[in-house]
Amino acid sequence: MAFLKRDYSTTDFDISRIDFAFIADYEFYLRSVRKMGNNAVVKHMKMFRKIVNICLGNGWMNLDPYLNFKGKFKKVDKAILTRAELDLMARKEFASDRLTQVRDTFLFCCFTGLAYSDVQELGKSQIARGIDGEQWIFSQRRKTNVKSHIPLLPEALQIINKYKDHPFCESRGLVLPVPSNQKMNDYLKEIAVICGIDKVLTSHVARHTFATTITLQNGVPIESVSKMLGHTNIRTTQIYAKILDTKVSEDMQALKGRLSKRSGTEG
């Protein structure tokens, strides 16, 4: 609607008039006025294309305006924290409660894989005993409505216990006092500077850190990681999963050991 108001001085538009020029103008608007990155633009264009396909399927449009349009995702290296950086952040003493609470929420997401929207709404009732008798999170992802069952690591349990009597949590039945996403990301940038971490921290970095540093690097199969993240497709998990050189080195060292044992036995 903002695009229509700006470029066409209207809030409604006849779908039969949508052509390649309209699509190209919309893409330019997203890149220039809204200052979106390439992948965000491609995502928005794909969403709009779904609407166009419905119109084409119903015979409401004669020509496909996307016929000569091409948008391609660029591979982006997702920022993740190393175990050393997580430990550094966990040990750091902050002067204000707001930074401490944001740090704790971020670390909780690093050890559970929860997205911001899910941790913000995580209720105490969603923490229960799992199949192994240990504490688990039983939630449903807000974004996809997919069930997500996550065994709680000691680090996550420690943070839960820290805030169990917090007035904000007690009054709302929530696990953690989570601020707005904008405030969280602003404070995380402040935390990164204080901790000397030269990475752009956002709430989503925690989810990538869980997938890579906490689970895959420590031998958790990608199928289990995918289930805990609440993904419906393992290909989505593979985008999150960044196998580091240290893990490759460890795996190859283990292989060398097995091969040398085998050659010794054969000799």
Interval 103-157: pLDDT, tens: 999 999 999 999 999 999 999 999 999 999 999 999 888 777 788 899 999 999 9
Percent of the chain with pLDDT over 90: 64
The pLDDT of residue 125 is: 95
CA distances from residue 156 to 30, 113, 131 in whole angstroms, order as listed:
39, 11, 18
Q: Could you tell me the pLDDT band of residue 238, with boundaries at 50, 70 and 90?
A: confident
Ranges 51-55, 159-163, 228-232: which has the least confidence: 228-232
The pLDDT of residue 267 is: 55
Q: Which residue has the tokens 């995502």?
A: 43
The pLDDT of residue 265 is: 62
Domain-by-domain residue ranges, the chain?
2-57, 83-246
Looking at the structure, give the CATH architecture of the domain made up of residues 83-246: Orthogonal Bundle (1.10)
